[in-house]
Structure 1
Amino acid sequence: MAILPIIETPDPRLRVISEPVDKVDDALRALIADMFETMYDAPGIGLAAIQVGVAKRVLVIDLQEPEEEGGEAVRDPRVFINPEILSASDDLVPYNEGCLSVPEQYAEVQRPSHIRARWLDEQGKAHEEDLDGLMAICLQHEMDHLEGILFIDHLSKLKRDMLLKKLAKARVRAA
């Protein structure tokens, strides 16, 4: 396993539409293992393959939520290959989103609160499930990456420009 470099905005590779996976094999499973290691190291709760330079419809999520209030984070890694949203609720919920490709920047995004999704796991087994809460939000966020969309694209031009200006200033300070 390896920690892969995470592509950051404004890299044009983040705007590439990812290709469907046609075969779930050991090479794909190795990429998935590297993606989990990269995501945990970052640290983050979701990562799409395009964020590490691979334009395939693969993403990993681990919300790492504690079993009880104030408890230790529990790992529950989930793999989504060729994910599709079959339906989404009309009711939208706000969530303060961030992204490993837009480091240390956060903004409120409105997304459907409930979705029904279908995907393959790392063994090639098909799944279909109703999702809500943070899992629904995170899956929608990561699936946006597969279409070349960043969470900042859901913001008004003014908010997006302000966020990108803050990111540029932070990069100058860090350099």
Structure 2
Amino acid sequence: MAVRPIVISGDPVLHSPASPVVDFDDGLRTLVSDMFETMDAAPGVGLAGPQVGVGLRLFTFGYSDDDDVSWRGVAINPELWITPVSAHAPDEDEDAEGCLSFPGERFPLQRARSALLRAVDLDQRPFEIRADGWLARIFQHEFDHLDGTLYVDRLEHPYAKVAAKIERKRSWGVPGQSWVPGIDNLES
């Protein structure tokens, strides 16, 4: 197991649709193990293949809700269905979202309150999770990565303008930039 570098906004792998996983081999098991270690070290609640520079349709997730119910797993070749997204403006506190590929920042984003995730695990066993609240948000966020969309791409004015300014100020938005959890401090 190893902590992998997390790619920063601007790298083509983050802005391109990922390819389906076809080889369920030891290489995939190593990748998933590394993704869990990287996600935990960051710390994060989800991490998609493209975020570690691998353009494959998979993501890891780890989250405990207010009732101390824990969710941890890997979704390979996922499909996601969501309820309609509210037309109301996002709440600056309750709907604040962050991303390990846009580190140190949080912006409000309206997401669907419920989602249905269908995927397979490392042993190619199908599973289904019905999620509400933050777990549904995590699934939507990570699924977006598999389609080449970052959450900052979905922001509305004025948040989109602020995110673009931060990206320019930090010289992000170009290929080849990354950070390593536990080594680099990009939180400021």
Alignment TM-score > 0.5, same fold? yes
- The aligned counterpart of 1:137 is 137
C-alpha distance in structure 2 between counterparts of 1:37 and 1:116, whole Å: 26
- AA of the residue aligned to 2:139: L
Q: State the superposition RMSD in angstroms.
A: 2.3
- The aligned counterpart of 1:71 is none
1:58–1:81: 8 Å Cα contact kept in structure 2? yes
Unaligned runs of 5+ in 2: 173-185
2:116–2:128: 8 Å Cα contact kept in structure 1? yes
- The aligned counterpart of 1:163 is 163
Q: Residue 91 and residue 103 in structure 1: after superposition, are their counterparts in 2 closer, same or farther (change >3 A)?
A: closer
C-alpha distance in structure 1 between counterparts of 2:116 and 2:66, whole Å: 24
1:7–1:51: 8 Å Cα contact kept in structure 2? yes
Residue correspondences, number:
167
Q: Which has the higher contact order (CA 8 A, sep 6+)?
A: 2
- The aligned counterpart of 2:79 is 84
C-alpha distance in structure 1 between counterparts of 2:131 and 2:26, whole Å: 28
Q: Which 4+ residue blocks in structure 1 deviate beyond 6 angstroms?
A: none
TM-score by length of 1: 0.85
- AA of the residue aligned to 2:6: I
Shift in Å, 1:148: 0.4
C-alpha distance in structure 2 between counterparts of 1:90 and 1:11, whole Å: 30
Identity %: 38
C-alpha distance in structure 2 between counterparts of 1:171 and 1:12, whole Å: 15
SS of 1:17's partner is: coil
